[in-house]
Structure formats: C-alpha cells, structure tokens
Structure 1
Amino acid sequence: MFKKLREIPIKILILEALLRRLSFTHPKRNLLQEELSKGYAGYRGEQSMDYFLAQLPQDNLLIFQDLRLPLAGNTYFQIDILLITPSFFIIYEGKNILGHLYFDFNQLIRTLDDQEEMFLDPIVQVQNQQYHFENLIKKYFNKQLPNTSFVVVTNSSSKIEINPDYRLAFEKVIRTPAILQKTLHYSRKNNKEIFDKKDMQKLSRILLKLHTPAFPNVLEQFQITDDEILSGIYCESCQSLTIVKSYRKWLCTNCGQENNTAFIHALIDFYLLKGKTITNQQCKDFLQLSSSSISSKLLRTLNLSFIGTYRNRAYNLSLSDLQRKLVSNNKDGQVTKCPRK
C-alpha cells in the first residue's frame, strides 16, 4: 500500500518558474536548463521503479516515496523508497546516472564522453539512511526490524562495473527490474512479525508527520537577484508575460489567448520565487494589475488566510492550496481561444 506518493520535486517547479521569468538573453538560462534536465532525469528514474513496486504483494506492506526525515538539529536524511512490513524494512536509493559507472571503495567514477566525474559512494549513502531509520524505529518503538538497502541504477543505458574486491557492491548495486526479486527474497528470509497492526499504523502516522519537504534556495545557488525576476502573468500559448485583466476575463495581449486560471499560476510563481506570504501591493506589482482594488479583490476571492491588519495584511500562500484552486477555478482545466483583436 502506497502511504506517501512521489511528487514532482520542488526544485523542478522553482527552476521552471525561474525560466518563465528571466529574460531570454539572461546569461544563466543555459545553466538553469541543464539543471532542470538533470532534475527531470532523476525524477523519471525514480518513476521507473514504480512499475516493479506495484507488482509487490500489498498485504502488510507500506511504501513511502521521497521521505525527508529530521536528524539532530536542523539536519535531515532523505529516502527515495522505503518499504516497511511487520517483519523488516528495505530502502531503495535510485541513481539515474548515464555513462560507464565504476563502483570503487568510497567513490563512484562516471565516465561519459571521455570525461571522468567522481561521486560519493551511493552504497555508503544508502547504508547511512538505513542506519538513521533503524535508530528512528528504536526511538519510537524500542524495537529492531531486520533491514537492508540497495542502490538502484535506473538508467538502462548505463554500463555498470565494480571493483572485484568491493564485494559488498556486487550485492547492493542492482538494476530496476531486480527490485521485485530482491524484495521477495528478503521477505522469505525474514518472515517473523515484530510489529503488530497498531505499530504499523503508528509508524505510518509518525513518518507522515515527520516528513519535511525541502525548499532549496535556487536563486542563491545560481546567484540570481530578486530584481532580475520579471513580473506579469505568463501566457503558455506564446510564452510571454502578457496576460492582463480584461473585464471578467484574463486575456493575452500578444496572442489573444484566454486563460482564467493564469493569475493563480502567477501566484504560484510568486510563492516559488519570492516568498510564502504576499501583500496587496506585492500582488498588484507582481501581476502588473492596474489598481490595488483589483489585487485586493483577487486575493479575497481566493479565501486565503492572512496575518496583520487591513493596511499591513499579508496573505498566506500554500502550493497545495493554490494547485487545488486551479482545478476549482476552472472546471475543465482548459483554456479557450479568444479572437485576436
């Protein structure tokens, strides 16, 4: 049973929003495009594992995808795929890396286009995750579940080579189709139930409560300043920031496209790039609205929670809430053509 499903990484959403709102001549566009391509490659690699997860027996099995759990202080550990049964847990760490992959002690060497690149050993990485999760179970249950972990090379075009002396790597590094066999094999070896039904339910609640999504500072990473971000409402049709409020419609002044949810997309961009709260003035400026009364009415109609008095009011933005409003604001989710004037 899938208890937590994988979502599009927030970094991908931030990069897409940033590319929508940077000049086409911006010197960092190519770097951002490369980073976005890497992000989608990793995401698709993780998705490729789902086919084999879905084939696993669902009785007494909980599956969590993309968990980010706290350690001491303000640090976290992240798990790609966690399988939990009353008898054991398994962690699968996906790696979508193209090229010739050589697994050596304490490092992974990737050769691509005659260029070598060094990575930290993913086997050590997944064993650290295994250790931290084992401690989490001890903390909340004072029990110990048998456990293991694997590194899954999700790129089928990659060539895997392992140092002959690195015996652990031969056991731990697998291809995506082996997920099913590895899970079933470990299940047959570990079938004594240690957790009861209440333990499993409690653990599920704990993990969902502890999960803390990351929110990377992409602007800082690429040294992009706030004043480089362009304002306006984006038109998907002609890829320009040219949608304006026209009576009761939102129309693109460039191509005539009508999109009555485009302003919500703009607020999502604000959330991703500017902050989790927005004032009336910020809304007016970022959406390039003609008056403060229009922005005030727009924010009120979305029924956003807020803090502060009328003059200093700041509305709380939530990605999940705004995404739901996209659906409710436009029943069929479609944009309609409007004749060019």
Structure 2
Amino acid sequence: MSNILERKDVISIIIKKRQAPESILMLERGVKRISKRKREMEFELRNIEQGYLAECKLDFYLERMGMNSNDIIVLQDLRLPATDGHSFFQMDNLLLTTHFAVNIDVKSQPGKFTFQNNARNFQYYMHGKKYGMMHPLSQVDEQCDQLRFWLGAGWENYPIINLVALADPSAEIATDSSSDWVYDCVMPFALLKKSFKRAAEQYTQAFVQLSELTRIGYQLAQAHCKPELRYWKRFELVDGDVKGGVLCPFCNRLAMDRLRVIWDCPHCGGRDRRAHVMSILDHFVFVKPTMTNQECRKFLHVEKEHTARALMTNAGILDWNRGTKGRVYYLKK
C-alpha cells in the first residue's frame, strides 16, 4: 500500500518505500554460524548498514523537495531487470513528476570525490589513500539509460535529472576547472532541494498526465525484483564451513532442541514453534540452493525423517521437485 504525504505545496505518493535490506538480517545470522569468512562478512554488514542509514537520513530532505505544486511519485530501492536480460539495475530514489524525474543515488562514504578532465577521470580518496569506486556519474547515467529503455517508446524526451547525494557531512568534492559543472550533479543532502527547485523552474510544461504517471509508478513497483542472497557463492563457502542447528530468536545462540512440536533453547529457556523457518532459510543463503530431507536433518539437528519433512513442508517458504532419491526442496520464487 502506498503512503500519501500532503503538504500545502506538494502531494507526494510513496508507491515503494525503502525497507531494511534482508541482507542485514541474514549477515547478522551468518556471523553466528560462520568462522571462516567472518571478518569479511562483518565488513560487508557494516557497509550495508551504513548505506541503509544514509538512505534513511535522506528522507528528511525528500519531504522538503516539493516545489510549485508538482505532484511527486516516489519509488525507493527499485531493482529492475536490465536490458541484457540477465542482470539488474537499482535506483536508490526515483522521483517522478508530470514535468520531469529525479534519480538520486546516495553515497554514504566520507572522503574526497575527485573529478578531472571534464569529469572523465574520477578518483576516490579517504584519509589520503586512493580506493576503488565506480564512477558515480557513470553509474547514474547508466541507471537513467536503463530506465528509459524500461519506459519504452514515447518517453525518450522525458527529462530525467541525475543526482549523486553525499550523506556524510565531511565528504569533499574536488574538481579541476573543466569539471566545475559536477557541483550541479554531486552534492550534499542539504543542496538537493535547490536542484529540485531549479529543475521545476526549467521544465514548466507537463510531459504526462498525473494519472498516467501514477500508472507507470505502480508498474515500476510491480516489476521490482527482490535480490537473491547467495552468500554460499559470494564467500565461497563449502560443506562444513557453516554451523548447523536452529538459531534461537531470543538470545541468538545455537542450537535449540526439538521438543515434540516446539523448539526449546538450552541457553535462555526461550521457546518458539517456528524458529526452524529462518534456520532453513540460512541453509539456502549460506550452504547451497537446494535441500534434501537428509540435509535438513543434519542442519537442524533433528533425527526423524518425517519430522524433517513436516518442518520443510510447513515452513511456507519452499517448493520441491521429486528426484530419483526423493524430494529436493528449493526456495519459492
């Protein structure tokens, strides 16, 4: 369901609102189970949390970006199929108005963003050391190109403004004289409203009716593809790297005991009937993309075949195929 924010100067319809990434929850669970790549997982977890918090801070500024009574359709964390048919592109914040669109990509990192040679050359420095980072302007340009392809014929001339928003107040932008125009595209959160106002003053003629724009917004939201978490592949995990057992939802420790129809934690005494569901998901995220009855028994620490079958069947997150040696389970799409 969309959220509608009404002000005297703007009506904003939030069709797709950002949510905490599932990757945060799963990585928090992963560091409880995995020792081999724990430091790398903790580093990735911190980066994702930092990025999410930065995007949440942006909401304060987005609420103040309505100008000239332009109705705004807002979509956040939008992930759509790319033109190559097998990859995806993601947009942090897409604001659609009847006159123009604004694509805002958030960078949470501190440090110095340096642009030279008409912004063709980009370097990122932190504490004087150079780090690799995708060219932020190339990134938003590619997002824009992909969005135009998705919108299709008739939208080629729809104005789309690409902005890179720097969340950290200490972040710096450095340019040579040929790249000064970058300041109109890369900026701290506080200057976003000024850019939005400038676009509203520039594009005074409506490109599309609000009803049609709203329809497009809902189509974009429906086309959103949830990312598949394949940390078994990302961190090159093999059998034995991941500790089994049901993770207690109360004290986050392994491993709960199965008492007939309920799980009991030997550490805190907490009891839960469906604690196994998230632990089954752990298997698919950190071990492999399929699960057999035998693998379920081993991972959840249950003995009986019919118990494992009931747990997987009733989890509500799995489908299965019948293989030559019984059912093979996989996550529902």
Q: TM-score, normalised by structure 1?
A: 0.81
Corresponding residue to 1:282 among 295, 298, 318: 295
Cα distance change on mapping 1:213 and 1:308 into 2, 3 Å: closer
Amino acid in structure 1 at the alignment position of 2:129: Q
Contact 1:79 1:91 in 2 (8 A): yes
Amino acid in structure 2 at the alignment position of 1:144: N
Q: Please report how far the alpha carbon of residue 166 of structure 1 lies from its aligned counterpart in structure 2 after TM superposition.
A: 0.5
Amino acid in structure 2 at the alignment position of 1:178: L
Q: Please report how far the alpha carbon of residue 306 of structure 1 lies from its aligned counterpart in structure 2 after TM superposition.
A: 3.4
Amino acid in structure 2 at the alignment position of 1:288: H
**What is the CA–CA distance in structure 2 between the aligned matches of 1:316 and 1:225, rounded to whole Å?**
18
Q: Please report how far the alpha carbon of residue 192 of structure 1 lies from its aligned counterpart in structure 2 after TM superposition.
A: 1.7
**What is the CA–CA distance in structure 2 between the aligned matches of 1:12 and 1:274, rounded to whole Å?**
18
User: Bigger shift: 34-43 or 197-206?
Assistant: 197-206
SS of aligned partner of 1:40? helix
| Correspondences of 1:321-336 after superposition (within 5 Å) | none
Amino acid in structure 2 at the alignment position of 1:127: D
**What is the CA–CA distance in structure 2 between the aligned matches of 1:228 and 1:48, rounded to whole Å?**
37
Corresponding residue to 1:8 among 12, 20, 23: 20
Q: Please report how far the alpha carbon of residue 318 of structure 1 lies from its aligned counterpart in structure 2 after TM superposition.
A: 4.6
**What is the CA–CA distance in structure 2 between the aligned matches of 1:22 and 1:305, rounded to whole Å?**
24
Amino acid in structure 1 at the alignment position of 2:241: E
Give structure 1 regions of 4+ aligned residues with deviation exceeding 6 angstroms: none
Question: Over aligned residues, Cα RMSD in angstroms?
Answer: 2.8
Amino acid in structure 2 at the alignment position of 1:294: T
**Structure 1 stretches lacking a partner, 5+ long:** 320-341
Corresponding residue to 1:265 among 248, 273, 278: 278
Residue matched to 2:10 = none
Matched, 1:189 2:198: no
Amino acid in structure 1 at the alignment position of 2:76: Q
Q: Please report how far the alpha carbon of residue 236 of structure 1 lies from its aligned counterpart in structure 2 after TM superposition.
A: 4.9
Matched, 1:66 2:66: no
Residue matched to 2:4 = none
**What is the CA–CA distance in structure 2 between the aligned matches of 1:33 and 1:62, rounded to whole Å?**
35
**What is the CA–CA distance in structure 1 between the aligned matches of 2:219 and 2:154, rounded to whole Å?**
11
Cα distance change on mapping 1:250 and 1:59 into 2, 3 Å: farther
Contact 2:112 2:125 in 1 (8 A): yes
**What is the CA–CA distance in structure 2 between the aligned matches of 1:271 and 1:224, rounded to whole Å?**
12
Cα distance change on mapping 1:32 and 1:256 into 2, 3 Å: same
**What is the CA–CA distance in structure 1 between the aligned matches of 2:131 and 2:231, rounded to whole Å?**
23
Matched, 1:84 2:93: no
Residue matched to 1:152 = 165
Contact 1:251 1:258 in 2 (8 A): yes
Amino acid in structure 2 at the alignment position of 1:206: Q
**What is the CA–CA distance in structure 2 between the aligned matches of 1:243 and 1:217, rounded to whole Å?**
25
SS of aligned partner of 1:166? helix
Q: Please report how far the alpha carbon of residue 309 of structure 1 lies from its aligned counterpart in structure 2 after TM superposition.
A: 5.0
Report % sequence identity.
21
Matched, 1:312 2:326: yes
Q: Please report how far the alpha carbon of residue 305 of structure 1 lies from its aligned counterpart in structure 2 after TM superposition.
A: 6.1
SS of aligned partner of 2:192? helix
Contact 1:10 1:214 in 2 (8 A): no
Matched, 1:215 2:212: no
Residues 56-102 of structure 1, C-alpha deviation per residue, up to 9 Å, x if partnerless? 44863111112222212323322111111121111111111122333
**Structure 2 stretches lacking a partner, 5+ long:** 1-12
Aligned residues: 315
Q: Please report how far the alpha carbon of residue 266 of structure 1 lies from its aligned counterpart in structure 2 after TM superposition.
A: 0.9
Amino acid in structure 2 at the alignment position of 1:65: Q
Residues 230-261 of structure 1, C-alpha deviation per residue, up to 9 Å, x if partnerless? 11011255543121112343111233233344
Corresponding residue to 1:17 among 6, 29, 32: 29
SS of aligned partner of 2:256? strand
**What is the CA–CA distance in structure 2 between the aligned matches of 1:135 and 1:249, rounded to whole Å?**
51
User: Bigger shift: 306-315 or 162-171?
Assistant: 306-315
Contact 1:17 1:272 in 2 (8 A): no
Residue matched to 1:322 = none
Contact 1:106 1:124 in 2 (8 A): no
User: Bigger shift: 183-192 or 295-304?
Assistant: 295-304
Corresponding residue to 1:230 among 232, 236, 243: 243
**What is the CA–CA distance in structure 1 between the aligned matches of 2:311 and 2:229, rounded to whole Å?**
29
Amino acid in structure 1 at the alignment position of 2:105: E
SS of aligned partner of 1:266? helix
SS of aligned partner of 1:82? strand
Matched, 1:122 2:131: no
User: Bigger shift: 245-254 or 164-173?
Assistant: 245-254
**What is the CA–CA distance in structure 2 between the aligned matches of 1:152 and 1:2, rounded to whole Å?**
20
Q: Please report how far the alpha carbon of residue 303 of structure 1 lies from its aligned counterpart in structure 2 after TM superposition.
A: 4.9
Q: Please report how far the alpha carbon of residue 175 of structure 1 lies from its aligned counterpart in structure 2 after TM superposition.
A: 0.7
Cα distance change on mapping 1:219 and 1:304 into 2, 3 Å: closer
**What is the CA–CA distance in structure 2 between the aligned matches of 1:187 and 1:256, rounded to whole Å?**
59
Cα distance change on mapping 1:302 and 1:74 into 2, 3 Å: closer
Residue matched to 1:244 = 257
Cα distance change on mapping 1:97 and 1:238 into 2, 3 Å: same
Residue matched to 1:328 = none
**What is the CA–CA distance in structure 2 between the aligned matches of 1:271 and 1:108, rounded to whole Å?**
38
Contact 2:114 2:174 in 1 (8 A): yes
User: Bigger shift: 87-96 or 177-186?
Assistant: 177-186
**What is the CA–CA distance in structure 2 between the aligned matches of 1:145 and 1:219, rounded to whole Å?**
42
